A and B are shown apart, each in its own frame.
Chain A
Amino acid sequence: MKRTKIKLLPGNIFPQLLLILVLLAMVIFLSVASPFFLTWDNLRNVFDHSSLYIILALGMTFVISSGGIDLSVGAVAALSGVCMALAMQGGLGVGISILIGLAVGGLVGAANGSVISLLRINPFIVTLGFMSLARGLALIITGGIPIYGFPRAFTWWGSGHIGPLNPPMLLAAFMAVLAALVLNMSRFGYYTLALGGNEEALRRSGVSIHLYKIMVYLLCGVTAALGGLVVTARLNTAEPLAGWMLELDSIAAVVLGGTSMKGGRGSIAGTLIACLLLGILRNGLVILSIPSYYQQLLIGMIILSAVIFAEVRSRKGLASTHKKERSTAV
């Protein structure tokens, strides 16, 4: 039986350490290569841009740790942003409108989880379906035209100032701390990892698999909606096309951060660092005036190498602990 790894302070901190080193190396390199990189304005840009990725990737870390995947987050971000906008246009207060948007995100998430868990359908296909469904709904209810112009109390969530920082950054930081606590210290986090580690064992120990699986996707839907809040507030516009490909960015960050695609192992710190790393990479390439073709190439290469290393490492680990099991399986 597979053992689920849960640690307060991950004994296996090496991958994150490596990420931090790469991050530092990149910062040093970019600071030397361009005088425009290491300025507060630019670093603030990096944090500002990364905050959106972080918020989405946190929910995604839970889903992937549980052995699933959620392709619908970009579309859900757009849909909930559009719902917030419509609610405000309809005369509702800012707070209520935000809650409606978050509820829409949670609802789509719960729907994802329910179909996946109750009907036992592959999460890739189910969330692909909901991705298209949410994007289609967002386009239908807006008629394809962005909704623009919101009260200051709403746009504050995207472009307000809190000292030298802004609300998205603090929201991302707060969510990250919360997510780390929940994943590593709560029953919900424990079961999330167990779902990915060995679902059958969890089922046999009498835990309601359905409940926890649905909760994991619901959480991911809510973080996607929070992302929708940030993006809508920042642009002062609810676009039906917002969050394009955001699902892939967040999956990439989660995997780069050392969370296992097979589930059972998840790292919030890793996700956080990976988001910053990708944010710095995107920013740095533009600062250095490198054409967008190379940006995609490089991001692809970095993700691939991270996944390959993780895979090689986990196989070696498995080979030693599960030699017996493997030989019988083959």
Chain B
Amino acid sequence: MEFDWSPEDEAFRRDLVAFLDQTLPQDWEEMSKQGPGGEGQAQFSREFAAGLAERGWLTQHWPVAHGGAGASSWRHAILGEELWSRGEPRGPQYMNVNWIGPTIMEFGSQAQKREHLTRISAGDVFWCQGFSEPEAGSDLVALRSMARREDDVYVVNGTKIWTSYANHADFCFLLVRTDPDSKRHRGISVLLMPMDLPGVEIREIPAVVGERYFHEVFLDEVRVPVSCRLGPENEGWSVVTYALQYERVGAPRYARGARTLDRLAEHARERGLLEDPTILEKLGEARALCEAARVLSYRVIDQRAHGAPPSADSNVARVAGTLADRSVGELALEIFGADGLESGSFADSNFRMAMTAGVAVGATEIQLNLIAGRFLGLPRE
């Protein structure tokens, strides 16, 4: 048991922070308010992620053969913490390195690995996630999007919804049903679908957070080459569960929460609120929740670093992160009072972010069910 960063890790964090101070544009604070999918942020991410790639930092935890440096998962965690706490200058590309790349590494063909891992590790490709459908939200396996095989193509029809970054994406990590007679977990396949194929139509759904955060993606007779399928036909569900375990702890929101709390404490001091014991207690409680989320995420990273298979610990970490986000968002509004109501203000944007926390990457209720089942062996409802 050890709980400390090595001198090399600390040096890396220092170098990274210096790089961020130097690289982020003057108006970064404003630009990053719109979230990773914002137009300015997404465009900047092409330059930024390429800069990380040049320094060998973007995918340093990947094997050398796939464009990495064979560094430990902890290095990647440092990268995530520092970038997420600054509002994620990788833009939508954080998804690529967090879970799309690792899943392609596990299940992809040689050609797929060559094509996609190379582009991801170079930092110039955008992906989106085609999972949810209007009738398949928490119950993801109710998905109906259908892929009909015709020789060497799948002809895809269906609708995906709540798709972040679809407007920017070059590819979609798409879930479809390839066996029309199948039910639930069976008969699902994953397609790595180019978004520029004829028949792909994107419509924005205005959201309370960020700019162009949600989209509907309509698929009308889209002809996707069979060579785009990731993993065996009809056995996509195991690919998805693998991907989800990575996704859940991908974004260290606790790091952003902790940084926000530092700023809130400063504001509270300026407003003379630190004399109020209820504010002090809430600052302490919120900080403790961020720390809990941090160490629970570390447990998942530790398991990865030891090569252990993904477990329900990622669900635990995710729920802890949601609790932290929520308490930080609430406290921001409490400390700023009526000033926090100003649209686009620091408190307002944190509150809006917190509203999404319990829904994104699987509703909290689903995470708790998974924890109850896998950790505690409780029977299903």
Is the pairing of A and B real?
Answer: no
